[in-house]
Structure 1
Amino acid sequence: MFDTMTLTKAGGAFCGALLVFLLGKWAAEIVYATEAGGHGEEHAQAYVIETDEDEGGAAEEEEGPDFATLLASADVDSGARVFGKCKACHKIDGSNATGPYLDGVVGRAVGGVDGYSYSGALVEVAETWTPENLNAFIEDPKGFAPGTKMSFAGIRKAGDRADLVAYLQSISE
């Protein structure tokens, strides 16, 4: 039942499979090259896109209305829809999930939810969840509190952040 021919066949099958995988890797490296220019060689830039940069080298950003103005005209119903992005990790029923519960968050002490294990990064940057602190944290969690456990990338639109904070204020009262 187990003779040298069976052992030879098994060895040949192993070597053949290894050869197929190595050839596949080689073909994938050629097709999906990630080096400069797509295939290892350097290429000169085809054209330059002109930007209005100041002497410091940074492009000027358009300044919109400040957060207080946006918050004053925020839409709570729209904030409830924006909260849909937060529902995966946060609840508003007083129970913790992946993240701490958010009902009553506006005005609450940072790191003030009993039973939730915070990373400690938040307490270093703020004491209370004011609307301004919430806005800064929601915009860029890792930038506001480096080392935070929150892996969410943030909400870039200032209007959406204002709507969300208005919604959180409405459920905090």
Structure 2
Amino acid sequence: MFDTMTLTKIVGAFCGALLVFLLGGWVAETLYHTGGDHGEDHQQAYAIETGIEEVDESAPEVDVAELMASADAAAGERVFSKCKACHKLDGSNGTGPHLDGVVGRAVDSVDGFNYSGALEEVAQVWDHEHLFGFLANPKQYAPGTKMSFSGLPKDTDRANLIAYLETFSG
């Protein structure tokens, strides 16, 4: 039943299948390899726009007082539309604490709101500087905060919003 010719055919078929498998793997690696572990430059095939601008760490410091001097509360009212989903200006809490009187108010001081405690680590009072930094990127400014808002990348939008919130200082 097993003669030399049959055994040679079986071994040859096995070697041929192994060769096809190895060559197929090599061809696939060559076609689809992105270069990450071979020291070559790696670039994404496509980028997903999230609408969030990357912050340039080498950017010059912003003079908040100068921005606040030229801030427009009416423009800040339009910016506040992004905040309305979670915050109110009538003294009642929503998903977030109410923001009337927030400028100059102690951090984590709204009665009846369950804060995360992360804000107390970075500020004591919501002054212009702290609000300006927090509104730029809440998660980066106060790691551990419950606020899921991604922030306002434009300096003028933040200044205008703070000016608008100052009109509700009660």
TM-score range, shorter chain: 0.5 to 0.7
Q: Deviations over 1:104-140 (max 9, x none)?
A: 0011110000000000111121111101110011011
From 83, 96, 100, the equivalent of 2:97 is 100
2:39 is aligned with 1:42: no
AA of the residue aligned to 1:105: V
Q: Does 1:161 align with 2:161?
A: no
Q: Choose from 78, 82, 89 the match for 1:81.
A: 78
Deviation at 1:45, TM superposition (A): 4.3
Name the counterpart of 1:68. 65
**Deviation (angstroms), 1:88:** 0.6
Q: 1:74 to 1:126 in 2, by over 3 A?
A: same
Greater relative contact order (Cα < 8 A, sep 6+): 2
In the aligned structure 2, how far is the partner of 1:127 from the partner of 1:107? 10
Larger radius of gyration: 2
Q: Deviations over 1:37-68 (max 9, x none)?
A: x9444385499xxxxxxxxxxx7745375111
1:14-163 matched pairs, under 5 angstroms: 39-42=32-35, 44-45=40-41, 61-63=58-60, 66-163=63-160
CA contact (8 A) 2:35 2:42 kept: no
Could you say what the CA RMSD is over the residues aligned between the two structures, in angstroms?
2.5
- Distance of 2:163 and 2:98 partners within structure 1: 16
SS of equivalent residue, structure 1 residue 100: coil
Change (3 A) 1:72 1:154: same
- The structure-2 alpha-carbon separation of the partners of 1:137 and 1:46, relative to structure 1 and needing over 3 Å to count, comes to closer
Report the residue type matching 1:124 in the other structure. Answer: E
Matched residue SS, 1:133: helix
When the two structures are aligned, how many residues end up with a matched partner? Answer: 126
Cα 1:114–1:61 shift into 2, 3 Å: same
Large movers: runs of 4+ above 2 Å: 38-47, 59-65
Cα gap change, 1:65/1:128 in structure 2, threshold over 3 Å: closer, same or farther? closer
**In 1: Cα distance, 2:133 partner to 2:73 partner:** 19
Q: Identity over aligned residues, as a percent?
A: 56
* Cα separation, 2, equivalents of 1:170 and 1:60: 32
